[in-house]
Amino acid sequence: MGRWWMLIFLPFMAHAAGEGAWQASGVGATLSHRGVAASSRALAPSQAVSGVMTMVAWRYELIGPTPAGLLVRLCSLSRCVEIEGQSGNTRGLTNVAANEPLRFVWEVPGGGSLFPPLKVRSNQVIVNYH
Complete domains list, the chain, with CATH = 5-129 (2.60.120.260)
Overall pTM > 0.75: yes
**Residue 20: how many other CB atoms lie within 10 Å:** 17
Q: What is the DSSP string of 13-29?
A: HHHHTTT-EEEEEEE--
Predicted confidence (pLDDT) per residue in 41-71, tens digit: 999 999 999 999 999 999 999 999 999 999 9
Contact criterion met (CB below 8 Å) for 130 and 51: yes
Predicted confidence (pLDDT) per residue in 18-32, tens digit: 489 999 999 989 999
The Cα–Cα gap between 126 and 107 comes to 23
Buried b (16+ CB within 10 A) or exposed e, 28-54: bbebeebeeebebeebbbeeebeeebb
In the chain, helix, strand, coil percent, each to 5? 10, 50, 40
Asked if the model's pLDDT at residue 12 lies above 50, the reply is: no
**Residue 104: how many other CB atoms lie within 10 Å:** 23
Position with higher pLDDT, 6 vs 98: 98
